[in-house]
Structure 1
């Protein structure tokens, strides 16, 4: 791969995102900033002051544009002006070589400010376009489409995300799409200290509807395997509803909500099966993380990402959406078929090569410095 370290040693790159809290896009951006700061000046800008959920290299210059928010139309206008002023000031002062932004709201601010200041920029959509740009009001959608066309590149993590974006009327003229998948997160070495006293199926993610944990619980109830529990790692607004669902299905004492865990690598390494039950995705980090630890995986074939990661029957199992029995059967096949499980585990670890941080970072560098 082409490397740009020597001629670009002191170049300044801005990375902008709505928040640095818990989430896939946040993890990807922070990891990318941590890798690139070895060779470039990195300024990481968060529109809000949420504390970082993931470690940030001390050499990365972090800015929080808005410290506190209050509700009300007048205050929203004030915060919009404040965001505009602070971001404009930062860009004028630092004169970045390029601004890279993740997620639609940050992409909008990046496009507007960079257009005014004539600063090159790259935007990135990290999830289903129907949930992001597709849900915007007509005028906002048209503005975003114009700003995306003016960007040096529009980066998507999965090819089907780019196709879906291009299918939206206002975005049909996009000719600057670039696919860069997510890199595997580098975790500390997994320990052998048991995280749970029994065998378990694992789900990881925010407890929100789009992640489909209600689907996972319904499918788990169909397993009828009393020797295996279900562990769901993550926090979110649906926890109480999911716990009530478990109780109604008679799963009390079989399903455990652990909250977020700093040693998630131990859960991946010890799980019998990892399940991704999402209703839609962009490019699911939890899936490639589980695969990197050699965990046998079952994923719902949702839009988008899983079908670009899993080769069904080779490095994981891909099951149709809205088929609880297929999801339950996939889990059961891995739990009861040792040879299948071992084959999936071995092939899954190849993700460490195809999605290595070094390889993915080099793809980003090419996109940043060749566009």
Structure 2
């Protein structure tokens, strides 16, 4: 009889955590496992999911909600998730991201089912924002989990900054697997040479700093392309216009053929103020792209060895970011060295190697 696994996440609409959980679900569905993907919110599925994976959407959430809508949403989410898990009775439930961790963890505690929680971003933007009561609830849910899985080792320090979480010791580091893109298109994705960055258009990703760093370079023949969507689009567009860069800096939205952009970019830049374990950086390196990254909490310093397979820049150092980009653009030997060294991540972060770590944890 196939081993039953349930994966729980907010949605599969797009993002690093969503890609990782999709890859894991696909991998386990091909290993004689019965896999159910439970999405708390109904949304478009942006990633390729194996036909063997059963997808269940719990609630259609409206953008503008009053108190009673939110109460109704919470009740429906809890009741439907409890019903699905009670019916499935998985060997293990694997939850990704704080809200899914809380809902699924609570249901698993009630049903007496084993579960794993996984935080994917820096706690300063999640748990640190919660009131004391919610932090207390989260602490007890996380304490009872088989493990708190973190994609970067250093992330546990972010949890320990909450006094109550100092006593938690069930942390486990499993890096993100590298996504294997299906095919590469050789057609040019842009009509000029370009610098690439990828991520949600929000404050944490630091695209305002990247645009400022790019503006200092005054490059006539190299554009800046930023792929992603998010709440800061309007403010970033305004910044681009104020710097007279509308013809040079392009917000190109969500792209399903990112591999073509990675393969053709002159440099990939991660300008984040905080991270969990940046998927885009791993993907870019896997495609042999020379990379520059802000050395933010957490992740980049566990991926890039400065001067060996890329360059690290001090957090918020816009001038340093500009100089590092310029260094790679103007030194083809350095660019080629970083490109060759970066590709080793295809082995260290292979889906087989990373999934084996998850499998060991799930079955333990």
Q: TM-score range by the shorter chain?
A: over 0.9
1:361 and 2:355 correspond: yes
Which residue in 2 is equivalent to 1:146? 140
Which of 83, 95, 101 is 1:101 aligned to?
Answer: 95
Query: Which stretch has the larger CA shift, 331-340 or 191-200?
Result: 191-200
Q: 1:191: how far off?
A: 2.1
The C-alpha deviation readout for 1:126-169, integer Å capped at 9, x for no partner, is 00011111111100101111111110111000011122212321
CA distance, structure 1, for counterparts of residue 330 and residue 246 of structure 2: 23
Which residue in 1 is equivalent to 2:307? 313
CA distance, structure 1, for counterparts of residue 240 and residue 67 of structure 2: 40
Which residue in 2 is equivalent to 1:129? 123
8 Å CA contact retained: 2:200, 2:228? yes
Which of 249, 267, 270 is 2:243 aligned to?
Answer: 249
CA distance, structure 2, for counterparts of residue 71 and residue 191 of structure 1: 43
Q: 1:68: how far off?
A: 4.0
Q: 1:263: how far off?
A: 1.1
Which of 116, 140, 156 is 1:162 aligned to?
Answer: 156
Which of 239, 259, 277 is 1:283 aligned to?
Answer: 277
Which residue in 2 is equivalent to 1:172? 166
What does 1:38-53 align with in structure 2 at a 5 Å threshold?
38-39=30-31, 40-53=33-46
The C-alpha deviation readout for 1:203-227, integer Å capped at 9, x for no partner, is 1111111111111100001112212
Query: Which stretch has the larger CA shift, 72-81 or 137-146?
Result: 72-81
SS, match of residue 76 in structure 1: helix
How many residue pairs match? The answer is: 362
CA distance, structure 2, for counterparts of residue 142 and residue 50 of structure 1: 30
CA distance, structure 1, for counterparts of residue 125 and residue 164 of structure 2: 15
8 Å CA contact retained: 2:61, 2:73? no
- TM-score normalized by the length of structure 2: 0.97
SS, match of residue 302 in structure 2: helix
SS, match of residue 197 in structure 1: coil
1:337 and 2:331 correspond: yes
SS, match of residue 172 in structure 1: helix
8 Å CA contact retained: 2:273, 2:316? no
SS, match of residue 99 in structure 1: strand
Query: Which stretch has the larger CA shift, 328-337 or 169-178?
Result: 169-178
CA distance, structure 2, for counterparts of residue 220 and residue 18 of structure 1: 34
The C-alpha deviation readout for 1:79-131, integer Å capped at 9, x for no partner, is 22222221111122111111110111111111211111110110001000111
Q: Where does structure 1 differ by over 4 angstroms across 4 or more consecutive aligned residues?
A: none
1:238 and 2:224 correspond: no
Which residue in 1 is equivalent to 2:67? 73
8 Å CA contact retained: 2:199, 2:280? yes
Q: 1:231: how far off?
A: 1.0
8 Å CA contact retained: 2:149, 2:174? yes
* Gap runs ≥5 in structure 2: none
CA distance, structure 1, for counterparts of residue 69 and residue 161 of structure 2: 36
SS, match of residue 170 in structure 1: helix
1:17 and 2:30 correspond: no
The alignment's C-alpha RMSD in Å is 1.2
Q: 1:32: how far off?
A: 0.6
- TM-score normalized by the length of structure 1: 0.95
